[in-house]
Amino acid sequence: MPYDASLPPARPFLWGAATSAYQIEGAAAEDGRGPSIWDTFCRIPGAIADASSGDIACDHYHRLDSDLDLMRGLGLQAYRFSVSWSRVQPAGAGAVNPPGLGFYDRLVDGLLERAIAPYLTLYHWDLPQALQDRGGWGARDTALRFADYAALVGRRLGDRVASIATHNEPGVVAELGHQTGVHAPGLRERRLAMQVTHHLLLGHGLAVQALRAVGTRLPLGIVLSAAAVHPATGDAADVAQARLEDGLRVRWTLDALMHGRYPADVLEHLGADAPSVRGDELDSVRAPIDFIGLNYYTRTLASAKPRRLGPAPRVVTDMGWEVVPQGLTELLLRLHRDYRLPPIYITECGAACRDRLDDGRVHDAQRVDFIRQHIAAVERAVDAGVDVRGFFVWSLLDNFEWAHGYSKRFGLVYVDYPTQRRVLKDSALWYREFIASRQQQRA
Ligand code: IFM
């Protein structure tokens, strides 16, 4: 599909793609990697839709060089990846695993050799099982261990990566992992989930401090899942529900990160389920950061009572998520207005589609439209004055989509799992042309 030249003109902006360790690496029991909570969770019957796991995933661990060449072939300017904590520190504390760190050394060096900026995330959901056995994110100690792990990664890779994000989507870790139980570690307790949000944020702040203490001068930040929250109807009850959900999903985290407090209305709503916060912990949470990453897929529609969505025509992706690009513009404008945010990166944005190999091609026109519309949505916000610096498509490769296993495909690149063959989808060809054309406009 040809690149649409009617898109707005070039800006100094990074175009990239993102992945995470457990979703692509495989090699789950190799070279000293310790088990993570996702290894354990995948073994629970019924936990994963297709009863799969990340044991092999995209076999990226063994295909590093060819995957790096694939990235270069696409013309990516930046690549966002995560480090597997249990690969570099198998028990989550104490001994370091040199071959594990060596893998990330090779990844970072390989990116730099290909002129691709490495954007590192420390925690994309794969907690070492040994730490879960000691209480996981429900235990304050895990936040302290996370700071040690951050320092160790910072010392080893901090001279070569473009930035370090502490967590990926802490709100999702708390809610899906500890309240609804559909993600690892599969717990279902709201009080615990709220304590987990606090410990994740505390871990973030302590990690930022630890990285600074070891001399890291890089931009440091955090990646949040963010959505514009809309009431399903104009009814007062739905409007109030939307305010509450915005409080739980957006203000909870950003008020803590930016102002060192949790929102009063949400604390009141939580009552006895509010987390316990010791001493000056919220001062650590608001340790100064240099960027915020936002992952955007859809809006949240809030209603006070469970209701069937009306007959309005809704375009959805294969996840059943409504396609709402204008929600991204709205979100960016709103966060710009309500918070004095540091520079923003769209660290994930993409669509799951029912991709099929058709004579060696994958015609994913829906994904091309999705990406094009969301880029345009970001650019509307930039034109209105929001400081956005980059856009990372989720994902570079089809991969292990958590509780959905391999049944959902988000990649620009199709992965034929039985052979591990990679095939550029039409969206990859489009993105390659798009990046090249933006680069030419800047030259
Ligand atoms: O695959 C996930 C990713 O790990 C985190 N953000 C959302 C993506 C799609 O569900």
Here the CATH number for the domain that contains residue 252 is 3.20.20.80
- Choose one of 394, 409, 412 to mutate for the ligand 1 pocket test, by most ligand atoms within 8 angstroms of C-beta: 394
**Does the CB atom of residue 20 touch ligand 1 within 6 A?**
yes
CA distances from 307 to 152, 198, 211, 246 (A): 48, 31, 46, 19
Phi, psi of 11 (to 5 degrees): -140, 160
212: which 2 tokens?
């600074």
| Average pLDDT for 413-419 | 98
| Nearest CA residue ID for atom 10, ligand 1 | 401
For the Cβ of 394 lying below 6 angstroms from any atom of ligand 1, the answer is yes
* pLDDT tens-digit series, residues 213-229: 999 999 999 999 989 99
Instruction: Report the atom number in ligand 1 closest to the C-alpha of 348.
Output: 6
State the distance from the centre of ligand 1 to the C-alpha of 227, rounded, in angstroms.
Answer: 14
* Mean pLDDT, residues 173-201 taken together: 98
Q: Is residue 9 part of a domain?
A: no
Query: From the candidates 25, 169, 281, 330, which is the catalytic residue?
Result: 169
For residue 401, the ligand 1 atom closest to its alpha carbon is 1
- Indicate if ligand 1 lies below 6 Å from the C-beta of 348: yes
Catalytic residue among 175, 245, 330, 348: 348
Domain that holds residue 201: 14-442
The answer to whether residue 4 sits within a structural domain is no
pLDDT of residue 312: 63
Name the 3-class secondary structure at 158: coil
Rounded to two decimals, what is the model's pTM?
0.96
Residue 99 lies in a domain: yes
Q: Of all residues in the chain, what percent carry a pLDDT higher than 90? A: 94
Ligand 1, atom nearest to 23 Cα: 4
* pLDDT score for 10: 44
Protein residue closest via CA to atom 2 of ligand 1: 401
Instruction: For ligand 1, atom 9, name the residue with the nearest CA.
Output: 401
Q: Give the torsion sign (CA, 203, 205, 206, 208).
A: positive
What total of structural domains would you count in the chain? Answer: 1
Given pLDDT bands bounded at 50, 70 and 90, which one contains residue 189?
very high
With respect to residue 112, please indicate whether it lies within any of the assigned structural domains: yes
Asked if residue 2 is part of any domain, the answer here is: no
DSSP string, 41-79: HTTSTTSSTTS--TTTTT-TTT-HHHHHHHHHHHT-SEE
Six-digit token string for 171:
């709100």
Please check whether residue 5 lies inside any domain of the structure.
no
pLDDT at 310: 59
Mean predicted lDDT score pLDDT of the chain:
96
175 has pLDDT over 80? yes
| Integer Cα distance of 282 and 258 in angstroms | 10
**DSSP per-residue codes, 189-222:** -HHHHHHHHHHHHHHHHHHHHHHHHTT--S-EEE
List the residue whose alpha carbon is closest to atom 4 of ligand 1.
20
**SS3 of residue 416 by DSSP:** strand
DSSP class of residue 358 equals: B
For 331-375, the pLDDT digits (tens) are 999 999 999 899 999 999 999 999 999 999 999 999 999 999 999
* 12 has a pLDDT exceeding 80: no
**DSSP letter assigned to residue 228:** -
Q: How far is the CA of 424 from the centre of ligand 1 (A)?
A: 20
Q: Is the CB of 401 under 6 A from ligand 1?
A: yes
Tell me the CA–centroid distance for residue 401 and ligand 1, in Å: 7
Q: Residues 20-68: pLDDT tens digits?
A: 999 999 999 999 999 999 999 999 999 999 999 999 999 999 999 999 9
C-beta of 295 in contact with ligand 1 (< 6 A) = yes
With 60 as the cut, is the pLDDT of residue 409 above it? yes
pLDDT in tens, 92-146: 999 999 999 999 999 999 999 999 999 999 999 999 999 999 999 999 999 999 9
Tokens of 34: 């310790």
Atom of ligand 1 nearest to the CA of 295: 6
For ligand 1, the distance from its centroid to the CA atom of residue 128, given in whole angstroms, is: 19
Q: Calculate how far, in angstroms, residue 241's C-alpha sits from the geometric centre of ligand 1.
A: 25
Residue 1 has pLDDT above 50, yes or no: no
Give yes or no: 348 in active site: yes
Q: What is the rounded average pLDDT of the residues 150-169?
A: 98
74 Cα to the center of ligand 1, angstroms: 21
- Contact, 222 vs 197, CB < 8 A? no
